[in-house]
Structure 1
Amino acid sequence: MTHYRSTRLALTVLAAAGLGLSACSQDNSATPTSTTPAPSLAPSTTATSPADIAKQKATAAYLGMWSDMAEAATTSDWQTPKLAQNATGEALQTISRSLYADHYNGLVTKGQPVNHPKPASVEPLDNPTSVTLTDCGDSTNWLKYRADNGQPANDGPSGRRQIEALVKKAVDGSWKVTTFAVHEVGSCTG
């Protein structure tokens, strides 16, 4: 079901519930209840372009990828199927290898990365299948610790880093991050 249809269905259900509630009011006066149909719940006149929809879905997949990775990193679970919800191909391999290396080295990660992705390009504009995102990700509060004793691991500096990601539309219509590149700390200012 498309986003438009699910929104329309939800609005229709809410409208029907509202009509049902108004008919059950506690006003016992002799005034008859109106049988005038509810106004149409048509979508706003501002249409969302295919490019805007693609940007929204790609951004959601990108943020989902980092959220899934942060959750898996709390135990360094490189095998969780959840990682494939928002990442595929090289991106998924990079995440899995990183988590496996942490598992192998007895490390876990606590906290959450902070991301503020912005769409840089959409291809093609009329029927998008790929979106390039740029981000100034912040790992200041997403740190590695030794799993055996909970002590901080010396895994290098944390902070703000430039990130580029390519998000593509899959055959099933979902959007997934296919590649991403994380640069050194201090590589972004935004």
Structure 2
Amino acid sequence: MTALPSSARSAARDGRKDRIARYGAMAIAVGVVLLVTSCSGDDKEESKQSSTPAASIPEPSKSSAPSDPQAADKRDVLAAYRAYWSEQVKAYSKANVEATDLDKYASADALGRARSDVLSLQKAGVVAKGAPVNHPEVSDLDMDRQVPRATVTDCLDVSKWTRVKKKTGETVASPKGQLKKYTATINTEKWGKQWMILKVTPKPRSC
């Protein structure tokens, strides 16, 4: 084999060094790219995990105060009592019970007294204007009886419920010593589905 001149051998060695250097540089570059890609992927995964909202924990429900088991029945009692007064005001304003539904909500002593008062108004030629102000509450309720019974306590203000002469509109003076604001006890019973006002007992004291 023919020996290469020394200059050729030197050039060949330099060429191999250049190729090794280039390969090394390429390997480093590839390694850097892989490292960057790997880190970038980890960052994205961490970012994805960190951006995922944590499961919300529902707040414990607040326990409500126990309701009155008789609340609905008490509302029905008071509704009937207010209707009784509404019809009574109509009867007094016309001096005529028959033109109202008073007997739908009142019976016994309560209805008899209302009719008696209206009859007195007719004879005197007087009617009532305005209306009383009520503040009723159910003070006792017994639904276990065969005929349920309830007692209503009311603070009645009749100061704006005045009597006037039907023909002239002249105000009729109230009896001397009559209270304008007083308490009353009302006895009621449930007849079928309807609460009926049976008796209204005024108390000789203000409220």
TM-score (norm 2): 0.62
Paired with 2:140 and 2:98, the residues of 1 have a C-alpha distance of 32
Q: Give CA-to-partner distance per residue, 1:133-158, whole Å, 9 cap, x none.
A: 00110001000011121101123245
Paired with 1:124 and 1:174, the residues of 2 have a C-alpha distance of 13
RMSD: 2.4
User: Given the alignment of the two structures, is residue 83 of structure 1 paired with residue 102 of structure 2, yes or no?
Assistant: yes
Query: Tell me, which stretches of 5 or more residues in structure 1 are unaligned?
Result: 1-45
Could you say which residue in structure 2 is the equivalent of 1:138?
Answer: 157
1:47 Cα deviation after fit: 6.6
Q: Is the 8 A contact 2:183 2:203 kept in 1?
A: yes
Question: Structure 1 81/151 Cα, relative in aligned 2: closer, same or farther at 3 Å?
Answer: closer
1:48 Cα deviation after fit: 6.0
Query: Tell me, which stretches of 5 or more residues in structure 2 are unaligned?
Result: 1-65
Paired with 2:189 and 2:164, the residues of 1 have a C-alpha distance of 33
Paired with 1:111 and 1:158, the residues of 2 have a C-alpha distance of 17
> 2:202 is matched with which residue: 149, 167, 182?
182
Aligned residues: 142
Could you say which residue in structure 1 is the equivalent of 2:186?
Answer: 165
Q: Is the 8 A contact 2:140 2:151 kept in 1?
A: yes
Which letter does structure 1 place at the counterpart of 2:183? Answer: Q
> 1:103 is matched with which residue: 108, 115, 122?
122
Where 2:135 maps in the other structure, the secondary structure is coil
TM-score (norm 1): 0.67
**Structure with the higher fraction of residues in helix conformation:** 2
| Identity rate, percent | 21
Where 1:74 maps in the other structure, the secondary structure is helix
Q: Is the 8 A contact 2:76 2:195 kept in 1?
A: yes
Q: List 4+ stretches of structure 1 deviating above 3 A.
A: 124-128
1:85 Cα deviation after fit: 2.1
Q: Is the 8 A contact 1:78 1:97 kept in 2?
A: no
**Larger RCO: 1 or 2 (CA < 8 Å, sep 6+):** 1
Q: Give CA-to-partner distance per residue, 1:105-129, whole Å, 9 cap, x none.
A: 1110000110010111011469881
Q: Is the 8 A contact 1:168 1:176 kept in 2?
A: yes
Which letter does structure 2 place at the counterpart of 1:188? Answer: S
Q: Is the 8 A contact 1:54 1:128 kept in 2?
A: no
Say which is worse superposed, 125-134 or 82-91, in terms of deviation.
125-134
Which structure would you say has the larger Rg?
2
Could you say which residue in structure 2 is the equivalent of 1:59?
Answer: 78
